[in-house]
Amino acid sequence: MSEATEAIRIPEDLLPRDGRFGSGPSKVRPEAVAALAEAAPTYLGTSHRAATVRFMVAALRNGVSELLSLPDGYEVVLGNGGTTAFWDAATFHLIERRSQHLSFGEFSSKFAACAKAAPHLEDPEVIESPPGTAPEAKATPDVDAYCLTHNETSTGVAVTPRRPEGAEGLVLVDGTSAAGGLRLDASQVDAYYFAPQKALASDGGLWIAALSPAAVERIERIKRDGRWCPPFLDLGIALENSRKDQTYNTPALATIFLAVQQLEWIIHNGGLPFAVARCDRSAEIIYSWAEASDYATPFVADPALRSHVVATIDLDESIDAKQVSAVLRDNFVVDTESYRKLGRNQLRIALYPAIDPEDVEALTHCIDYVVERLRG
């Protein structure tokens, strides 16, 4: 960083109360961390097969079910390895022969690549669209699993998960950065899976999936048919363990605890509508600021596709977005850098439920302050 940027000190009264705007891992509420510290002596460092931890896993499963208003018969399953591990697991027990993938950013393209590489599956049908847009799913006769991403964290595009018209087969939705922040009609999906270090304000390493009866049936059938699967990725084993409020191998107990804290915070405040309203408010603040600004523009052209949990804001070429993020970081306002592989002159700002809309407002003033100084 040059001396000029190092010298930029944002006045105290402009700064947000909490300067964490990263899209993942994302802000964990201090109250949740304090609760963990308080519970630690009887919780951390105790057996994940004993009642204390199993009670917490049960609270996580019930909390997800309540948060997402899951229809009768849906089951909440969890395992280790985060969303990336769940993609591999899905290639074994949720995709029967051929999947369709909507590919419109880094994360959606990665799942498509997993399915393509799996030797026991046919090549997937991949429907692509450029970053900043979203493709449409369509019913295809030989496709048995439709794979969508609720919020493409790398580009800031959000879609409404729905069964493609006339489609038979399961609908598998990556809700990693959406779960707990965006509206969901769970009856439209058969597997809604995520990791809790994004909208759920916990830490990484875990995957959580809400599975419909049809998804559970498919897992059990593929297992009966004898398809080989590494036990670590075996969704049948994960299902059996989850039903006993356990995981196949040792989970991160702090991650589970923090996720439960966030679920309970949202539920006590009114449930998903409360969380969605906070994100809607933050989105309104950031996008209207960008639209009014003479140097910032929302990257996603179609307002209907603009994510209310991750905002991507392009800056005019005359301003170096990397430098803006660096100055912000120097002032303890962190992780506003754009997704590295997108390669744009851009800021990426998380608007998750844990992030106060007032802090998003404060961030816009900080960005204006920094840009004014950089322009000289």
Ligand X SMILES: *Cc1c(COP(=O)(O)O)cnc(C)c1O
Applying CB under 6 A, which residues contact ligand X?
Answer: 24, 82-84, 107, 149, 153, 174, 176-177, 195, 198, 204
Q: Which CB sits closer to ligand X, 339 or 369?
A: 339
CA-to-CA distance for 5 and 337, rounded, in angstroms?
A: 16
CA-to-CA distance for 234 and 241, rounded, in angstroms?
A: 11
Q: Which CB sits closer to ligand X, 8 or 132?
A: 132
Q: Which CB sits closer to ligand X, 8 or 310?
A: 310
Taking the C-alpha atoms of 359, 321, 158 and 256 in order, what is their torsion angle to the nearest 10 degrees? -60
Number of H helices, E strands in the chain: 11, 12
The one-letter code for the residue type at 19 is: G
Q: Which of 368, 373, 374 is nearest to 293 (CA)?
A: 368
Q: Which CB sits closer to ligand X, 283 or 367?
A: 283
As measured in angstroms, the least distance from the Cβ of 191 to ligand X is 13
As measured in angstroms, the least distance from the Cβ of 22 to ligand X is 11
As measured in angstroms, the least distance from the Cβ of 311 to ligand X is 14
As measured in angstroms, the least distance from the Cβ of 106 to ligand X is 8
As measured in angstroms, the least distance from the Cβ of 268 to ligand X is 26
- DSSP letter at 161? -
As measured in angstroms, the least distance from the Cβ of 295 to ligand X is 28
Given a contact cutoff of 8 angstroms between Cβ atoms, the answer to whether 5 and 323 are in contact is: yes
Given a contact cutoff of 8 angstroms between Cβ atoms, the answer to whether 159 and 176 are in contact is: no
- 3-state DSSP assignment of residue 29: coil
Given a contact cutoff of 8 angstroms between Cβ atoms, the answer to whether 102 and 137 are in contact is: yes
Q: Which CB sits closer to ligand X, 148 or 371?
A: 148
- DSSP letter at 334? B
Residue facing ligand X at closest CB distance: 82
Residue pointed to by tokens 């917490």? 56
Q: Which CB sits closer to ligand X, 24 or 251?
A: 24
